[in-house]
Amino acid sequence: MTTTTDLSQLNLDGLKDLALRTCSDCHGTARFEDHECYCVERFERHLLDAEFPHRFRDQTLADLDWDRILPNETRLALQHYANDLPAQLEQTLGFGLIGPVGCGKTHSVVGLGKLALALGYGVWFVNMPQLFHWLRQTYDPKGKRTHTGWDWERNREVRREHEATLLEDLTEVDVLILDDLGAERPTEWVRERLYLVVNQRWQAQRVTLFTSNEPLDQLDTAIGSRTLSRLVGDTVLLTLSGSDYRQIEKRRRVQAVLQR
């Protein structure tokens, strides 16, 4: 896709416009086979399906406090990856952010995920401790329930109760976001299943984005060398520094209340 638009500065309305302009059905005309094209509605539905955290429901890369994305080289590299995202996804080049808590990692990958959705890719955001919880639940036979065929095909919440379908969905989504990698050290059983997902995605050349508070040597210990090697092999890996801007924003809100 050829564009002069700064993709890192698109708000939600801008992403909807991008979804229209890059639609493979209507090619930006908003018409498909003598009917109104539903590309924008499809983008909005897929935003919900991606399961982004509610905190970032209305936020995009444009809402990042870019001045706090440090060091400068990392900020410029993140902006470059975002603006070149159509080519990055076409070339199946992943993305990883490592740094301390509160420096903008999750917001950044959520923003990239929403941008990928607007470009027509399927996206799933997964918090790693939550994923490990899901995997442990699939191992509990008492947690199994019977569902209708429609539920099985359409409802991701139902599908992730079963190990085979959870692993299949994690493997096959176009863009998988693994947030907070290394926050919880998994059991060997969970580590093996995480390796299966990462390895199959690597073999199929599907894009994985991830964030972590842990340096690479500690990630190696937490998730295993084989898994980490495949995650970072075809990945733009950046390191963030700086203050916890969640705490900065909290102090700003408190001061605003006190000054009323």
CATH of the domain at 141: 3.40.50.300
Q: Are strands 31-32 and 35-36 parallel, antiparallel or unpaired?
A: antiparallel
How many C-beta atoms surround the C-beta of residue 157 within 10 A?
9
3-state secondary structure of 102: coil
Q: Is residue 1 part of a domain?
A: no
Where does the pLDDT of residue 158 fall: very low under 50, low under 70, confident under 90, or very high at 90 and above? Answer: low
The partner residues of 31 in beta bridges, in order of sequence, read 36
Domain assignment of residue 183, yes or no: yes
Specify the number of domains making up the chain: 1
* Residue-range definition of the domain harbouring residue 167: 7-258
Beta bridge partners of 209: 95, 177
Tally Cβ neighbours within 10 Å of residue 74.
Answer: 21
With bands split at pLDDT 50, 70 and 90, how would you rate the model's confidence at 138? Answer: confident
pLDDT recorded at residue 159: 61
Q: Kindly state whether residue 62 falls inside one of the protein's structural domains.
A: yes
Report yes or no on 216 lying in a domain: yes
Asked if residues 64 and 114 have their Cβ atoms less than 8 Å apart, the reply is no
Question: Would 2 be classed as within a structural domain?
Answer: no
In a domain, 96, yes or no: yes
Q: β-strands 235-239, 94-98: how paired?
A: parallel
User: How many Å apart are CA 207 and CA 230, to the nearest integer?
Assistant: 11
What pLDDT sits at residue 4?
72
Residue 99 lies in a domain: yes
- Please state the rounded mean pLDDT for residues 72-91: 96
CA distances to 4, 43, 113, 114, 143 from 16, in Å: 17, 7, 14, 10, 39
Residue 152's pLDDT is what? 41
Q: What is the enclosing helix (H) or strand (E) of 95?
A: strand 94-98
Q: 0.75 exceeded by the pTM?
A: yes
Q: Is residue 152 part of a domain?
A: yes
3-state secondary structure (DSSP) of residue 196 = helix
